[in-house]
Structure formats: C-alpha cells, structure tokens
Amino acid sequence: MEPFEIEKYKEIALRRRWWIIIPFLLSILTGIVAVLVLPKVYQANTLILIQPQKVPASYVQEIVTVDIEDRVRTITQQVTSRTNLEKIIKEFNLYNEPGSHMFMEDKVKMLRENISIEVSSGSSRRRGAAPSSFQIFFTGKYPKRVANVTNALASYFISQNLKIREDQAIGTSEFLADELENIRRRLLEKEEELKKYREKYMGGLPEQLETNLRILERIQEQIVTNQENLREAENRKLMIQQQIAEAAEMRRARAVPVERQGEIAQSTSLNQLKAQLASLEAKYTQRHPDVIHLKEKIAELESKEKADVKTVQEVPENRDVIQAERNLANQLREIELEIKNLKAEAAQLHSQMKWYQTQVEKTPKREQELMSLNRDYDNIRETYSSLLGRKLEAELAVSMERKQKGEQFRILDPAKVPIRPLKPDIRRILLMTVLLGFALGCGLAYLRETMDTSFRRPEDIEETLHIPIIASLPFTLNAREIKRIRRKEILTVVSVGLTFLLLGVVIVLSLKGVDATINFVKDFFVKL
C-alpha cells in the first residue's frame, strides 16, 4: 500500500472517528454487561495419582488385580449412587437457591450430570499400559462450593478405594481359609483311607514283595527240611517196629507150650506182616489197596491166634527182653509224636506258603490300588500346600491393605477455587465484542465516507472533474469554530481514554475473571 493511501485512510478515520468510537464503545459495553449478567458455571477438578504398592511385589504379591479403569468405574457408580449424592447435597446445601423448588430426584440427577471422571496416564502413556492417574470434574454456580464438592468427591474416591481393596483382600483370605479347611478335611480322610488300606492288606503291600519272596523261599527250604525229617522219622519208626516185633517174637518163643510148637511159624508170619504194614503206611495212605489188603490179613491171623486157647507150659520170662521191649515201645511213642508234630508243622508250612503265594499274586493289584490312593493323596496334598501358600499371601495382603501399604489413590492436585467460569467463555465473548465493535465502527465509517459527495482536497476535484486546479484558498476559522473544534478534540480524547479504560477492563476480566475483578474493585473503593 502506497503512503498516499495510508494518509487517506488516516484522514478518513479521523474525520469519521465518532462512527468508529461509538459502535466500538457500545460493543465493548455490551460484552462487559453480558459477561456480568449471564449466569456463570464454574468447574473445579482434582488430579488423583494411582500410586503403586509400597512393598515390592517379590515380597508380597498383590491379590487385588482388578483393572484400574474397571475399579474407577465401580467406585464412580458407588460415589454417584443416590444415597451418597443425597449426603453431598445435604452437606453442601446444593441447589437450594431462593425460589428454587426442585425435588430431591431432580437434584440428584443434576448433581450426577455435573460430575465427570477422566482416566488417563499422562503424555507418556504407552499403548496397553495401565492408567497412572485420573481426574474428577465438577461444575456448579458457586466457585467455593464447587471446589469443596470436588475435594469431597476425591475423598470419597480414596476412602471407597481403600474399602474395596480391603474388602476384596479379606474376602479372598476368607475364601481361601474355607477352601483350605475343606481340603484339609479331605486330606485327613484320604490319610485315614490309606491307613486302613495298609492295615487291611498288611503283608501284601508292594513294598513287602521282596520280603514275601524271601519268606516264601525260606518256607520252601523249611518244607524240604521237614520232609527229610519226616522221612527219617518214618524210617526210625519202621526200625523200632521191627525191633519190637523181634523182641515180641523172642518173648513168645520162650513162653510157647509143648503142644503148640507147631504154631510158632504162624506167629512169626504175623509179625512179619505187621512190619510190612508199617513200611507201607510210611509210603502210602490208609486208603491204598495194598495197605487195606495187608490189614485184613493181619486181622485174620490175630483172630485165629485168639481162638486157639489151650493150656500152655510157659517158659520163665527173660526180664531183659521185657525191659528192652518196653524201651522200644517208649521210643516208638516218641517217634510217633515226632511224626505227628512234623506233619502238623508241614501242614502249617504249606498253609503259610499258600498265604504268601496269594499275597505275591495279588501284589500287582494292590500296587495299582495303592498307586491310585497315593496319587489322589498327593494331588490333595499339593492342592493343600498351594492353598496354604496362597492363604499366607492373602493374609500378608490383608495386613498390607490395612496398613495402607498397597496400591492407593493419592490427591496430587487438590481442587482450587476456580477464577474464570467454564460458561460463558469470558475471553471469547470479550474478544468477539471487541472485534465486532471495531469491525462495525470501521464499516459504518467507510459507509458514511462513501455516501459523502463533498470534495475535501484539490486532488479530488482533479480526479473527479478532470479539470486542472489553478489556485486553492486555505480554510479560515473564526473563534467560535475554533472553540467547537477544541471541544470535539477534548471529547475525542475522553472517548479514546474511555475506550482504553474499557479495553483494560476487558483485559482484566479475561485474565482474572469476573469475581476476582469485582472483589478487586470493591477492595479498591473500600480502601479509598
């Protein structure tokens, strides 16, 4: 733009200054009045830091693992419940302005709408990272009350968080205690079942297999020894029986009458048959055909001897033969008793061997059953140990929460009394009124200038009429006109000063807010 054009617009601005100043002043006054008159809504906020637990997680494991956003959402629902909001309304006397006849339901609804929560973790938040802080916002008409309510909400959040965490820790600890008691009872029952099983099948358990096999081997050796001893005893019995038969034959030979000398051969035959019977009984059972036949023959000969009763001429007995026969009879009884004992021992050994063989045969089955019982017992014991460890961790977590050493909400920035209202936006309103007033004034001045057809300079005549100017005479002012011009100049200076004053008021209102500005003015006049 050329210097001539600038000078031209300066002259127009000076000449039409009232068309610029008056709309500008009126617009500023309108903005100031609007700022002072319009209802104001203030907002206070407090920043709450989510502080991690103070005890390292390697020492005490945190059991409250609910997501921060979910927990904040849960606490928000509790804090904004009807019961809690009614307490806040009554405590801070909210929505009880003169002439207000709101129902409690409407007050609760309005208060809930004026509360907002914003969860964030700052500018350095990584994707997927847990939030590190959140803000509580509250809006209302009165700045101090708004700040007090915001701080009260922050206190509610902190107390509710502590209560929720402690309740969750206690609930987890109680649940683990109940489960631990149930598992302990099951463990005792399984121990008792194992004990009864071992008592019931004692001797046939898998760990006793080697012992049972050694016992079986020893029993078999004892059976072999028993059979050898029994065979030896049977042989000795047979020898004693033969000796007894010979002694009896000798004794009879000495006591036979003269007329029965011919029957000696028959008696000798009977003794031989008895010896033969003893030999067969040692080898066979009583039901063997040879044994039965020999017994019948011996019985027949014995009956024949008893039938032939005649007077005999006895020979004097030999005392040595009788004593020897008695000794042999005693030895025979001892041997028979020994044989009886050996047979009883053999029966007992066979019974023991059969029992141990049964135990050895059933060992695989017992092993499977015992493995199943031990597996169930080990599983229950591992579960018990795991629950016991978790129970101890839960108790430590409960103690940590009660001592407030766990994760906490801490007020980082408490709510302060707001200076500028949230609504209306004073800066925007004042800036718009200033710009609008200035634009309106300039527009009116330019419009008035374009409607003016008078010539102000010789150049205007030359440009419009295309006639050269020969000479121009200066404008001469009289005293009256000079006074009028001076009054206009004074009025202009006053107007400009008033404009700057109003601009100062606008700046102060934008920076300090309405309430602070009003209080400053009141204090200023009070001091005056």
Residue 198 has pLDDT above 90, yes or no: no
Averaged pLDDT for residues 101-120 = 90
Averaged pLDDT for residues 388-415 = 82
Model confidence at 501, in pLDDT bands (50, 70, 90)?
Answer: confident
Higher pLDDT, 222 or 15: 222
Residue 199 has pLDDT above 80, yes or no: yes
Averaged pLDDT for residues 176-182 = 92
Give percent of the chain with pLDDT exceeding 90: 22
pLDDT score recorded for residue 111: 93
Model confidence at 70, in pLDDT bands (50, 70, 90)?
Answer: confident
Instruction: Give the tens place of pLDDT for each residue, 354-365.
Output: 998 988 888 888
Residue 256 has pLDDT above 60, yes or no: no
Give percent of the chain with pLDDT exceeding 70: 76
Residues 6 or more apart whose CB falls under 8 angstroms from that of 94 comprise: 88, 107, 111, 140, 145, 149
Lookup result for tokens 């400009």: 496
pLDDT score recorded for residue 179: 92
User: How many CA within 13 A on the CB side of residue 326?
Assistant: 6
Higher pLDDT, 320 or 476: 320
Residue 112 has pLDDT above 80, yes or no: yes
pLDDT score recorded for residue 513: 65
pLDDT score recorded for residue 422: 83
Least confident span in 7-21, 35-49, 151-165: 7-21
Averaged pLDDT for residues 347-357 = 91
Give me the residues paired with residue 119 across strands.
134
pLDDT score recorded for residue 311: 40
**In the chain, what are the domain boundaries?**
3-36+426-527, 42-181+395-413, 208-391
Long-range contacts of 94-101 (CB under 8 A, 24+ apart): 94/140, 94/145, 94/149, 97/141
pLDDT score recorded for residue 349: 92
Residues 6 or more apart whose CB falls under 8 angstroms from that of 194 comprise: 373, 374, 377
Distance of CA 391 to the CA centre of its chain: 10
Q: Which superfamily is assigned to 42-181+395-413 in CATH?
A: EIF_2_alpha (3.30.70.1130)
Instruction: Give the tens place of pLDDT for each residue, 268-298.
Output: 566 677 777 776 676 666 776 766 777 777 7
Averaged pLDDT for residues 83-103 = 86
Structure tokens at 346: 């053999």
Among 502, 524, 527, residue whose Cα is nearest residue 36: 502
The DSSP annotation for 85-150 comes to HHHHHHHHTTT--TT----HHHHHHHHHHTEEEEEE--TTPPTTPPP-EEEEEEEES-HHHHHHHH
pLDDT score recorded for residue 258: 41
Averaged pLDDT for residues 28-54 = 83
Model confidence at 429, in pLDDT bands (50, 70, 90)?
Answer: confident
pTM, two decimal places: 0.56
Higher pLDDT, 378 or 474: 378
What's the whole-number average pLDDT of the chain?
A: 79
Give the phi and the psi of residue 409 in degrees, each rounded to 5.
-100, 125
